[in-house]
Amino acid sequence: MDGLEKKTLNVLHQSHNKVIEDLHTWHKNIVSQLDQMYDNILLDMKNTYEDVQYFASFTSKLLLEQENLLQQATSNDEINTIQERINEILTEITFLQSLSFHLNCDSVKLHGKLQLNLNKIPIKSNHSLMATLPCIDNASQTIIHSSKLPTRNKQSILLSTTYRFLISRIDAIELKKTSLSIFHLTSSDNQSINDCVLTFNVFNLVSFLNAFTAYWNLFPKNNEIRVLIPQYNVSYLADKLNETSRSLTNRFQLDQINVFPCSCPKSDERILLIKGTRRDYIKDCIREIYFNIEKYNENEGIKQDINLYNPSNLTNDDINEIILSNMDYGGFIQNRNKSVNENQSKIDTTEDEDSDDDLWDENDDWWNFRNTRDGSTEIIQREMIVSNKHAGAIIGVNASYIDRIKQKTGACVYINGQINDLKRTAIMKGTREQVDRAYLFIENLIDRNINDKKYRRDKDTRT
């Protein structure tokens, strides 16, 4: 009897695990479809808005043209003809004003009906076994009760408020594993883009705070947050921070709170960085900031269209431009090469930096090289394919060599690729003279690295 019970329990356990696995797979598929729909609808709305803007501009020109013709008209027939044209334009405008944005029903259909089986028996929605399935956590049901907020703020003051944050690509990949529909993320497929935008799919401040707490608990080691602030709120927020930054710093025990000077690439959003040791206080600070922003938007009646930051739309040229110009927008792209370079230098470079002073002798002919063929100030780019080991020699201990190359030559130099790639690309940007000097120096470093390793091998062989 015990054997039969054990066998039955094993079968039930396996079936139960299969049901849970199917449920999670279905859930991830549905969330993925919803995210895709969300992106497509946003794109459709953006295109529609641009079309309407173009129509408005074109119509305005037509009306001005007809108005000028009307002033020049000399007969009743001409006036009547112009009046008919104007009436036709006004009819088109009235027709457009009566339109509203409707979703394409075919484009928002969810595909993938959930079919669960237990011991080859289909489980229906009213089946008693459904009650035994564990629930997937829903962040909107947890953590903060609305009574803890001021009564006035139990409803979001402005429904158009967007709760958007910039997070790293690594955090975005981890967050996707939760498959929670309250989190919407821009694409993290491009490994060269470390920025990812997290949008909370919520409708008021209370539900946002619940969702943010769920997110914050997923990353217990994070002690800083980057809030994306629309341009129309930046002035208000900057003025507010000038008045209260010391107060906020003291009240919430913050190490840093500031708005970065540059907007995010190709957008009208800027980053508010909040950093501190008390994670619970960081959350309280965000709550106060959003409360004041929404209150300000309500009082000012602000409703503006802005370009939202989407890192996945950036091209390689955009990324290179961000790095080359040292764009101070507060994101992760500008830090990517520095962190990769520092990691690489720890892996491969073992030489003593003090022993390489001869490499920086500015009396050497190669160092004082001048390009006599072209004194142009035009910015050019030159690339060199190097092995992963040579990349470490170029970077140096704690990125010391590559930083000194930049300082001495004036060129922008960085190593592309990942630290586990077999081949890397050394990229140099600047005037032709700057690039050529950087190229020669990199060649010299590689030769030095090869000769040093050969010398060590020969020495080991002799001993």
Structural domain spans, the chain:
2-132, 140-313, 332-462
Contact at 8 Å (CB) between 133 and 195? no
Write the DSSP symbol of residue 124: P
pLDDT the model gives residue 348:
44
Residue 345 to residue 404: CA distance in whole angstroms:
14
Closest CA to 140 of 210, 71, 200: 210
Tokens of 216: 């914050």
Write the DSSP symbol of residue 226: E
Contact at 8 Å (CB) between 411 and 434? yes
Are 140-313 and 332-462 in the same CATH fold?
A: yes
pLDDT the model gives residue 215:
92
Tell me the CA distances in angstroms from 311 to 22, 195, 219, 264, 314, one per residue in order.
33, 6, 22, 9, 5
Which CATH code of 2.60.40.10, 2.30.30.240, 3.30.1370.10, 2.60.40.1930 fits the domain covering 140-313?
3.30.1370.10
Contact at 8 Å (CB) between 267 and 339? no
pLDDT the model gives residue 356:
52
Tokens of 18: 């299969």
Instruction: Using CB atoms within 10 Å of the CB of residue 454, give its burial: 0 to 12 exposed, 13 to 18 middle, 19+ buried.
Output: exposed
Residue 317 to residue 333: CA distance in whole angstroms:
13
Contact at 8 Å (CB) between 332 and 168? yes
pLDDT the model gives residue 115:
66
Tokens of 301: 């009646």
pLDDT the model gives residue 225:
95
pLDDT the model gives residue 228:
95
Residue 38 to residue 77: CA distance in whole angstroms:
53
DSSP string, 319-371: HHHHHHTT--S--SHHHHHHHHHHHHHHHH--S-GGGGGGGG-TTSTTTT---
Contact at 8 Å (CB) between 227 and 196? no
| Tens digit of each residue's pLDDT, the chain (463 residues) | 567 777 777 777 777 777 777 777 777 777 777 777 777 777 777 777 777 777 888 888 888 888 888 888 888 888 888 888 888 888 778 777 766 666 666 666 666 666 666 656 665 544 443 343 333 333 333 323 333 334 333 333 334 578 999 999 989 998 888 877 788 898 888 878 889 999 998 878 888 998 899 999 999 989 999 999 998 888 888 877 777 777 888 889 999 898 888 899 989 899 999 999 999 999 999 999 998 888 888 877 666 678 889 998 888 888 888 877 778 898 988 654 444 444 444 434 444 444 455 555 544 444 444 444 445 567 788 888 888 788 888 887 767 788 888 888 888 888 876 666 677 888 888 888 888 888 888 888 888 877 776 656 666 666 6
Which fold would CATH assign to domain 332-462? Answer: Ribosomal Protein S8; Chain: A, domain 1 (3.30.1370)
Closest CA to 200 of 217, 216, 212: 212
pLDDT the model gives residue 286:
93
Instruction: Using CB atoms within 10 Å of the CB of residue 420, give its burial: 0 to 12 exposed, 13 to 18 middle, 19+ buried.
Output: exposed
Q: Which residues contact 391 (CB under 8 A, 6 or more apart)?
A: 344, 348, 415, 417, 424, 426
Residue 427 to residue 440: CA distance in whole angstroms:
13
